[in-house]
Structure 1
Amino acid sequence: MLDLELIRRDTEKVKNALLKKMKDVDFTELIKLDDERRKLIHEVEALKNKKNEASKEISNIKSKKGKVDDSIFQNIKELSSRINEIEASLEPIKDKMDKFLEALPNIPDEDVLPGGKENNKVVHVYGEKPKFDFNPKDHVELANIHDLIDYKRGTKLSGNGFWIYKGYGAILEWALLNYFIEEHIKDGYEFILPPHILNYECGRAAGQFPKFKDEVFKVGHNEEEDNMQFILPTAETALVNLHRDEILREAELPKKYFAYTPCYRVEAGSYRASERGMIRGHQFNKIEMFQYTKPEDSDKALEELIEKAERLVKGLGLHYRLSKLAAGDCSASMAKTYDIEVWIPSMNEYKEVSSASNARDYQARRGKIRFRREEDNKVEYVNTLNASGLATSRLLPAILEQMQDKNGNIIVPEVLRKWVGKDKI
């Protein structure tokens, strides 16, 4: 959620920044509502002062054993009635303002380009695209040859967009997760296994609701915000809510977490013909890194998350690139995002396996996540950051395709061999 005071103070600056992400934005109605709210609050405070003065007058009269005129009591009654009336009228105004603010995306950082994917910029490339002196197979064919993934029965059990890991496919998948977990623990991140079913407030604080509430799998049929539950689309949705409505001590920051969960996505719309196999699906495994930091430390934290995600892909020996996203390609909650994109030879394109993002104080405002400065006891909003570390459903196709030999064998990345138990499949 954006800072209302910032919108009022720098209206045009905020508007121009948001136009990097949005087609149009107009704060006229919001400011009009806020002006009305402020006027009513001022009136309420004035009436409360009058009521207090009348109450003091009654106390003074009684202290002198005098008789209180009925008109004073009547005045207090009328003042109380008017105060209640105004306070009741403030609720729908605040509700309208909150809905307006909740619908706004985060302000992109100044160095983030406007527009969509067409303005994404490649920062650097790691390694070279693999070259084959034979006709390479795609990951679907390789998975079928080695009986690693059962697409047919996955569809039979759950429909399109689902698959079953089996044999060494399951072992490879679990080896990837073990590799990530081991590395994050080495780096001092705390391991979290959160619930997979979350309440509406989790989605709202993360910035995914209300706009994207139809893009998650809901539990039951209750659409009411107070009672709605859904299956998490990413562990970020859980991790950002760990300290919701809390005031942390400055000494506790930064807080560094990582979590393993499957991710459940509705993935509305049709799949491209090239997005076969595991490239897009309704359920996939992911390790998510998350940090809570002081505002002045979040830029450095983002660099750390990017470096960690890249180090994991490098460790697998995969060719990839790092891209800085344009504002329109960043998610609504994020001020800046970098994607780590792995090369899929059969598709002749790069596919994202990690997004490292800085939300600044956007999610913290929505979730009321704050910290207290030791120096002056001032309470401020934290900054929140996240990065996949990593998602596996595109890594496995990349490993199968980039690591294949002319005989159709799969060379197991060295960092995974202690869990897989062999050098090649």
Structure 2
Amino acid sequence: MHDIKSIRENPEALVEALKRRQWSSEKAQAAVADLVARDEARRAHLGQLQERQERRNAASKEIGNAMRSGDAAKAEELKGEVTAIKEWLSTAEAKERELDRALEDALAVLPNVPLDEVPVGADEHDNVEVRKVGEVKPRSIWTREHYEIGETLGMMDFEGAAKLSGSRFTVLKGQLARLERALGQFMLDLHTTEHGYTEVQPPLLVRDEALFGTGNLPKFEEDLFFTPHGEARLGLVPTAEVPLTNLVREEIMAHDRLPLRFTALTPCFRSEAGSAGRDTRGMLRQHQFYKVELVSITDQESSRDEHERMTQCAETVLKKLELPFRTVTLCTGDMGFGAQKTYDIEVWLPGQDAYREISSCSVCGDFQARRMNARYRPQEGKGTAFVHTLNGSGVAIGRALIAVMENYQEPDGSVTIPEVLRPYMGGQTKIEART
């Protein structure tokens, strides 16, 4: 959420930021002009409201003076004035709420402002590579994609999943199911014991307010799944970022509590409404998948350094799995709605002969904190300040499973288990087809 005071004082700054986000000049100008107009109408109404309230209070005192002086006619006249003001105020306060809501709705659909160093670009082709780690082996004639490997092993069942739930679901069986579980446990152990994150087991159903707080509502409602809950509804979490970040919702924290670092392994649910026709084979893009999420809550001075730290924590997962990857800075046109800056970590998939995203690590500044009203008390000075929030995948477990299968596949169709995962697999070194 943007600060309307800052927009009021420098509307052109937001126009330029939206243009960097690949908005047309006309669209950006119109959006900001609409905000300014809504703000002016709201402030003008508040001015009238304050004037009437002050006049009501003054007239009430004048009634007492008139009655004490014996001027009954004047007292009656003033009573009539007060009654009229009260009637006006009763509708004016409802209008105030309406104007507040209209301004908030207009602010709620505007994306965050990119940091100055974020490269300007239209889409993924304009992202900038930061580093590349690991050796990419030449594709062999026997190299296959993960779904071919999984079906040959008899441990990845797409037809069975379709009978149960339709498209974009997968049934994992046997040692592949265990391997996915091992990946999740390995990541949690790494982040909690070596990286200082606190493990959380959050609810998987959340209120609209929580989804609004992280920026999923109202803009991305079509990408979410909902279930009725009394007269309201609850949303299935698209990522554990939602409940973890909202743990500080409507709080004012002491500075010495920061930074807060949370991690959780949860299923995630996404309708993939905007991804029709993309990655329909295999389990690369699913309605239900598992992910280890990383969330940090910091003061305003520390968030940029925390962003680098979080990205390194996610990269460590792939380093320990000995998977080739690269890290890229997303350009302004490819960056998420709530982010100021994002690093994507892309793992190498030999079956696709391509790098594919396995983690996004974003710093959001105070964008989410304003939506959640999450604050802290600075060490120096008075008052409060909005916290800064960060989130990242540490990492997507289904995609990690795909990467292990494709990078560790053998000519005979078996899959070697990465050394770091073997303690979680009971010492097993290889997954082979069942006989």
Give the alignment's TM-score, normalised by structure 2.
0.91
Distance in 1 (CA, whole Å) between partners of 2:250 and 2:140 is 58
2:183 to 151, 173, 176: 176
**Equivalent-residue separation in structure 2 for 1:275 and 1:41 (angstroms):** 53
Gaps spanning 5+ residues in structure 1: where?
Answer: none
Moved more, 332-341 or 53-62: 53-62
Indicate which of 374, 397, 407 corresponds to 2:402: 397
For residues 369-384 of structure 1, the aligned pairs below 5 Å read 369-384=374-389
Aligned-pair distance for 1:129? 0.5
- Read off the aligned partner of 1:11 and give its amino acid letter: P
Q: Does 1:149 align with 2:156?
A: yes
Shift of residue 135 of structure 1? 2.3
Distance 2:377 2:62 in 1: 41
The answer on 1:124 being equivalent to 2:118 is no
Q: Over aligned residue pairs, what C-alpha RMSD do you find?
A: 2.0
**Is 1:32 aligned to residue 37 of structure 2?**
yes
Does the aligned pair in 1 maintain the 2:326–2:347 contact within 8 Å? yes
Q: Deviation of residue 266 (structure 1)?
A: 0.7
Tell me how far 1:353 sits from its aligned partner.
0.8
Tell me how far 1:66 sits from its aligned partner: 5.3
**Correspondence 1:17 to 2:17:** yes
Q: CA offsets per residue over residues 192-247 of structure 1, 9 Å max, x none? A: 1111111211211111111111111121499xxx8232211111111121121222
Residue identity matched to 1:199: R
Q: CA deviation at 1:54?
A: 2.3
Structure 2 Cα separation of the partners of residues 227 and 371 of structure 1: 31
**2: CA distance, partners of 1:302 / 1:353:** 17
The answer on 1:204 being equivalent to 2:204 is: no
Q: When the two structures are aligned, how many residues end up with a matched partner?
A: 420
1:70 aligned residue: 76
Q: Deviations over 1:341-363 (max 9, x none)?
A: 00111111111111000111111
Give the Cα separation in 1 of the matches to 2:145 and 2:84: 79
2:118 aligned counterpart, secondary structure: coil
Write the deviation string for residues 135-191 of structure 1: whole angstroms up to 9, x where unpaired: 223222221232332222112211111111211101110110111110111122111
Q: Which amino acid aligns with 2:197?
A: Y
In structure 1, how many angstroms separate the alpha carbons of the residues matched to 2:141 and 2:90? 80
Given that residues 294 and 383 in structure 1 are in contact (C-alpha distance below 8 angstroms), is that contact kept between their aligned partners in structure 2?
A: yes
Change (3 A) 1:275 1:402: farther
Q: Are 2:199 and 1:191 equivalent residues in the alignment?
A: yes
**Post-superposition CA distance 1:67-87 (Å, at most 9, x none):** 662222222222222333332
Q: Partners in 2 of 1:133 and 1:94 — Cα distance?
A: 62
**Which residue identity lines up with residue 217 of structure 1 in the other structure?**
F
For residues 244 and 292 of structure 2, the distance between their equivalents in structure 1, rounded to whole angstroms, comes to: 12
| AA partner of residue 140 (structure 1) | Y
SS in 2 for 1:228: strand
Q: Secondary structure at the match of 2:348?
A: strand
Instruction: Name the CA distance, whole Å, in 1 between partners of 2:141 and 2:41.
Output: 72
Asked if the contact 1:200–1:227 (Cα under 8 Å) also holds between the matched residues in 2, the reply is no
1:230 alignment counterpart: 235
Q: Aligned partners of 1:141 and 1:31: how far apart in 2?
A: 56
Q: Deviations over 1:353-396 (max 9, x none)?
A: 11000111111111111112243341111111000011011111
| 2-structure distance, mates of 1:97, 1:310 | 40
Change (3 A) 1:374 1:59: farther
**Against the structure 1 CA distance between its residues 137 and 39, is the aligned structure 2 distance closer, same or farther, given a 3 Å change threshold?**
closer
- Who is 1:355 aligned against? 360
Match of 1:406 in 2: 411
The letter for the 2-side match of 1:109 is L
CA contact (8 A) 1:264 1:284 kept: yes
1:270-349 equivalences in 2 (<5 Å): 270-272=276-278, 276-349=281-354
* Partner residue, 2:267: 262
Per the alignment, in what secondary structure is the counterpart of residue 246 of structure 2?
A: coil
Structure 2's unaligned 5+ residue stretches are none
Task: For 1:84 and 1:134, locate their aligned partners in 2 and report how far apart those are by CA, in whole Å.
Answer: 77
Q: Secondary structure at the match of 2:132?
A: strand
Alpha-carbon distance in structure 1 between the residues aligned to 2:400 and 2:280: 14
Equivalent residue, structure 2, for 1:107? 113
SS of residue in 1 equivalent to 2:261:
strand
Letter in 2 for 1:336: K
Cα pair 1:134 1:406 within 8 Å, conserved: no
What is the distance in 2 between the residues matched to 1:88 and 1:133?
69
Q: 2:60 aligns with which of 52, 55, 58?
A: 55
- The Cα of 1:58 is off from its aligned counterpart by 3.9
Aligned mates of 2:82, 2:306 — CA distance in 1: 56
Going from structure 1 to structure 2, the CA distance change for 1:37 and 1:270 (only over 3 Å counts) comes to closer
Q: Deviations over 1:21-80 (max 9, x none)?
A: 233222222212211211121122122222222233345567x68566222222222222
- The alpha-carbon distance between structure 1 residues 250 and 276, as it changes in their structure 2 partners (threshold 3 A), is same
SS where residue 280 of structure 1 aligns? coil
In structure 2, do the counterparts of structure 1 residues 136 and 90 end up closer, same or farther at CA, with 3 Å as the change threshold? Answer: same
Per-residue deviation at 1:106?
Answer: 0.8
In 2, Cα distance between equivalents of 1:79 and 1:91:
18
8 Å CA contact retained: 2:130, 2:328: yes
Distance 1:126 1:275 in 2: 28
CA distance in 2, matches of 1:275, 1:305: 31
Q: CA deviation at 1:254?
A: 1.1
User: Aligned residues: percent identity?
Assistant: 34
Change (3 A) 1:89 1:322: same
Q: Is the Cα–Cα contact under 8 Å of residues 161 and 280 in structure 1 kept in the other structure?
A: yes
Greater CA drift, 313-322 or 127-136: 127-136
Query: In 1, distance between residues paired with 2:419 and 2:169?
Result: 29
1: distance between equivalents of 2:286 and 2:110?
28
Is residue 2:104 matched to residue 1:98?
A: yes
